[in-house]
Structure 1
Amino acid sequence: EHHHLHLSSCHECLQLENSTIESVRFASAENIPELSEDCNSKLEEKSDDCLARGIKRVNLAGKPPNVLIYLGSETAKVEFEQVKSILQECIDVDSYTIYQLHEEQVLKDPWVDNSLLLIIATEQPISEENHKQFMKFLSKGGKILGFSSSFTFNGIQIKRKNKLKKTVHELVVSKMDSTEIKLNLLLSGRVFEEVMKADTSKVKTLSRLNNADKDAVIVHLTYGDSGGEAVLSQAHLELDINSMNVLTEEDFNLLKRSNTKRYEVLKEILVSLGLSCELSETPTLTPIYLFSSDEEIHLAFLKWLEGNVDAAGVRASSKVSLKFVSSSESKMEVTPSLVPVITEMGSFSSEHFSLETYQQNLQTKKLGKILLFSEVTTTTMNLLDG
């Protein structure tokens, strides 16, 4: 009877939302989002020094690592998968989540504050309302990558050159180390030009066509004082060679020979926008530890477990089953579908979490006293059913 689920309106649950998250912020080196401003925590003044030590921020703007792909008013499932696929081949897929930003979500969903990168991959005109929303995103430190889109700002406008549309042309790209790289890409038929003399600190041409006009086809723009920036391209960096309707065998061969360089340029652009393109090793799964600072509550929980596990000590669920064992000496293998839960703390230690600090900063009377902790797990969403 001590283990019923609480409603979200329960006063002590609301305390848990504030107090427990505060405790984890102190005890863990993870970059946990700030609590809302109306959370009157007594720990707020003390937190700055603790948070400054050992916290690895995903990005300088402090935004969640969400990458959004905007494809205009069309559903464009095929195009979304194409852009998503090329991104997944470039970035560290374990560090970012890729979503499609649908037309109806642009003005009403809170993506502006909860996304790191917006990719605009549509040749459709950008409405005035959407343009304002994209600029708002930039003003809050967001990053934009444009693939053959009409989106521009900072005194840069688009000029149509129909003779270049769907043609393969050689580009000269300036890299961050001041070297240049030449490659052939399919063009959109549009180039960038300055309406007025732009501030060179806010506008930089990254690539020009290797032709008489030296047309600008990739530009880097900055906006605001919060780190907002955009890289806009009128060359199809996002298109795989097999998804193009190339007219001639010569064009196909030119694109094929430039494919490795295309990935190199795209990765460099993504890195310049703050993303990581270094592949990380998948960490080994670890067991779950059952902690409690109150012996009475701990014993009551173990007593409750006796009637809620099978003869082998397993609490089964549809996705992940938990096997409760007394100590880590059992050497049980951790798998995505079966995870051991060690009920005796023993000589537990972690560089990422301090149980003592957690307990010192926990302010609830009962909630949060039982803690399940794991260094590495596949998910926390479906460890238990119900």
Structure 2
Amino acid sequence: QQQPIVEQQPIVQQQPIVHQSIASNNNVEVDHTETFVIPQSKQISAETVRKQTAQIPHTRIHGLQSESLLDNVKNGNENPRMKPPNILVYCGIKDSVRKFAQVQSSLEACINTEAYTIYHLKHDSILSSPWRNNAALLVISSCTHLREEAETEMINFVLKDGGTLLSFNSSVDSAFAERLEEEGIDGERLVSFKFKDDQYITSVRGRFFYSGFKGRSEVIVPYELSELQKNDASNAVHRKDINLGEDHVRNISSHLQNRALVVKIKCDGGGTTVLSQLLLERDPIEYAKDQDSFAALKQSNTDRLAVLRDILTSLDIDTSSGTIPSLTPCILLAQRVGLKESFLESFKHRLKDNGLLKSQKMSLKFMQSLDQFTATSTCLPVITDCEVDAQMEYFNPRTYWKNLTTSKLGQILFYTDVITSTMPVFDGLQFSIPDNMGLIAVAGRQTSGRGRGGNSWLSPAGCAMFTLPLSLSVYSELGQRVSFLQHMISLSVVHSVLTLPGYENLDIKLKWPNDIYYGKEMKLGGVLVTSTIVDSTIYATIGCGFNVSNSNPTICINDVIRLWNTSHPQLSELSPLNSSQLIARTMNCLEALLQSFERNGHKSFCDQYYKSWLHGNSKVHLQLDKDTEGVIVGLDDYGFLLVRTPDDVISVQPDGNSFDMLHNLIHTKPRS
């Protein structure tokens, strides 16, 4: 997709840079810097437009077909209106920085981030900066009482400049439609609304609905009366008209037609607005009052983003996934003196002259500096000469080393910003190095995942992702019961959070066999373990990923922390956590569990495991030859699920069964 043909230069006037130090729970200061700069369009010649648009005759440029662009030039308009790829977000005056961050996160989950830049339009900039000429879209987030001068600028942006506005429950809505207020509704509330194919989605809505649209309208989400209102046509509503500043009472029966919670309006001046009483733009847990509402909103979070994406698409905003970012080289780090050198020496005899270690899925090319070598899906350059606390985009080595207390695990770090997957990184190394040197591969983002319908999936920033190799003797306690390994990894992730002072009571649980959950509601992460036996050694490769700070598209650990803080205002507020910290703490917990398992056996481990798992004494239905009811009683001697039925006690193996927690069913899959 071509970018709009606009020469850009920064405006002279800029907002002052604001520095805000945020103290994390590990006493590392994060310097947050925010700058507001909007590029300003510069006039270009008609001949330049002709030459460049001739090469892309059918490309859509922010809602304008290139044929229309050429028509403007042919008609003598030397400066056709083209909006730069800026999305501006206005969040009012109070607490606007935090609110903007939430809106930005939601928008970035929906749009092609390579096509647009999202800016925070602060209140002081509304009158002082020429933003009206520099916005493909203006988003207003829940500003129920805009100041008159700000509201006038926003209305003129649509009616005079032909701009595009997406307004969520803001007073400016009254310029484009009547806002009708339901009697008895006070503030925001949860609502279940119907969207496409009779699908019902839980969201938060304001107390108004829309009617009397001032332009050509398209109802996106209709307003539906409750059963009580349907039976009582005399139920009144209050109409609140911001322009007139007075209340009018009208009978709801006069508005039975053309009512909406979300409506798109094409205005006479050429501008377009979408007015929404569904508060889709911010993190829904902002409105959660208890665990039930938190769970309902988070379970609908993916659907919330889908609705928001549809609305943005209707406004000619590019919501394609964009291109997958380029793969990046790997950086090899070790904190202890001499450890990295000892590791490199251990397999030096296997390297080719050019430093290449070949492997079937992913070869590693070791080099002191990058030397123009490009990372590919089958060959990963590994930079060996790098500072131990080097700056990286998605990972903080200093935080990682500060939290890591292991004797071995995680002490040799392979870090990559963008990689296809960390799982094959150690395929060529695992059989060539001394046992358990403490290797770990960490990624900022992975590109090899597959989404629904075969779509490519890019793991979001804020998700902790790592792979580590582990070797076990088949005669060891764990080697005799290797299925427990996946349970140990999952429990280590849970312990990495719950062993922090103050975090002990967070509702983070284990779902058999290898998932990490918030309560019984939503998945936070999972574990994958593969293994190979050579002679008397088991070579296991452990892959793990869990959501730490990525609220979208589903839920993350920091969401759970925010809910705890909201639900327990009398307690000291818990700080958010980060991936670098929790990966290190997971290594600490795993090493302790491995040592304890060898000393005390599997029964001692099970005692710890049961404290965090979801299934104790749960009644389930087994789909065997006939439906059979049973009770989950624990794990057997090999880590499989143990279910007591009226006739027998059955072990359910994870590779042949799946557990449907919502319906308490255990499906036994046929074996070939």
Distance of aligned partners of 1:333 and 1:189 in 2 relative to their CA distance in 1, 3 Å threshold: same
Name the counterpart of 1:188. 206
CA contact (8 A) 1:267 1:277 kept: yes
CA contact (8 A) 1:191 1:216 kept: yes
Q: Distance in 2 between matches of 1:37 and 1:262?
A: 34
Q: Distance in 2 between matches of 1:37 and 1:117?
A: 15
Shift of 1:151: 1.7
Q: Distance in 2 between matches of 1:34 and 1:217?
A: 39
- Superposed CA deviations along residues 73-98 of structure 1, whole A, max 9, x for unmatched, are 22422111111111111111121111
Equivalent runs, 1:12-91 vs 2, <5 Å: 31-33=4-6, 44=45, 46-55=47-56, 56=59, 58-59=61-62, 60=64, 62-91=82-111
Q: Distance in 2 between matches of 1:132 and 1:86?
A: 27
Tell me whether 1:279 sits opposite 2:321 in the alignment. yes
TM-score by structure 1 length?
0.56
Shift of 1:262: 1.2
Equivalent runs, 1:173-322 vs 2, <5 Å: 173=195, 179-194=197-212, 198=213, 201-202=216-217, 204=219, 206-209=221-224, 211-212=226-227, 213=229, 216-226=260-270, 228-247=271-290, 249=292, 251-282=293-324
CA contact (8 A) 2:5 2:52 kept: no
Distance of aligned partners of 1:37 and 1:164 in 2 relative to their CA distance in 1, 3 Å threshold: closer
Q: Distance in 2 between matches of 1:275 and 1:162?
A: 37
How many residue pairs are counted as aligned between the two chains? 250
CA contact (8 A) 1:67 1:118 kept: yes
The residue identity in structure 1 corresponding to 2:5 is: I
Tell me whether 1:133 sits opposite 2:153 in the alignment. yes
The residue identity in structure 2 corresponding to 1:274 is: D
Picking from 167, 189, 192, the partner of 1:146 is: 167
Shift of 1:106: 0.8
Shift of 1:190: 2.4
RMSD: 3.3
Tell me whether 1:168 sits opposite 2:190 in the alignment. yes
Picking from 95, 119, 125, the partner of 1:99 is: 119
Name the counterpart of 2:372. 332
**Secondary structure of residue in 2 paired with 1:118:** strand
The residue identity in structure 2 corresponding to 1:142 is: G
CA contact (8 A) 2:158 2:165 kept: yes
- Superposed CA deviations along residues 271-294 of structure 1, whole A, max 9, x for unmatched, are 111111111124659xxxxxxxxx
Q: Which moved more, 1:269-278 or 1:183-192?
A: 183-192
Identical-pair percentage: 26
CA contact (8 A) 1:66 1:116 kept: yes
Q: Distance in 1 between matches of 2:85 and 2:48?
A: 23
CA contact (8 A) 1:171 1:184 kept: yes
Shift of 1:204: 3.5
Q: Distance in 2 between matches of 1:218 and 1:88?
A: 21
* Greater Cα radius of gyration, structure 1 or 2: 2
Distance of aligned partners of 1:276 and 1:205 in 2 relative to their CA distance in 1, 3 Å threshold: closer
CA contact (8 A) 1:169 1:209 kept: no
Shift of 1:244: 2.5
Q: Distance in 2 between matches of 1:129 and 1:159?
A: 24
Q: Distance in 2 between matches of 1:211 and 1:38?
A: 53
Q: Which moved more, 1:160-169 or 1:262-271?
A: 160-169
**Secondary structure of residue in 1 paired with 2:124:** helix
Name the counterpart of 2:517. none
Q: Distance in 1 between matches of 2:282 and 2:182?
A: 20
Q: Distance in 1 between matches of 2:262 and 2:178?
A: 11
CA contact (8 A) 1:92 1:276 kept: yes
**Secondary structure of residue in 2 paired with 1:138:** helix
Shift of 1:159: 2.3
The residue identity in structure 1 corresponding to 2:307 is: V
Q: Distance in 2 between matches of 1:37 and 1:207?
A: 38
Q: Distance in 1 between matches of 2:300 and 2:130?
A: 39
The residue identity in structure 2 corresponding to 1:148 is: N
Distance of aligned partners of 1:190 and 1:248 in 2 relative to their CA distance in 1, 3 Å threshold: farther
Which consecutive residues of structure 1, in runs of 5 or more, have no partner in the other structure? 1-28, 286-330, 336-386
CA contact (8 A) 1:161 1:190 kept: no
The residue identity in structure 2 corresponding to 1:63 is: K
Distance of aligned partners of 1:46 and 1:230 in 2 relative to their CA distance in 1, 3 Å threshold: closer
Larger % of strand: which?
Answer: 2
Distance of aligned partners of 1:199 and 1:239 in 2 relative to their CA distance in 1, 3 Å threshold: closer
Shift of 1:245: 2.9
Distance of aligned partners of 1:46 and 1:170 in 2 relative to their CA distance in 1, 3 Å threshold: closer
CA contact (8 A) 1:138 1:224 kept: no
Shift of 1:332: 3.4
**Secondary structure of residue in 1 paired with 2:317:** coil
Q: Distance in 2 between matches of 1:99 and 1:190?
A: 28
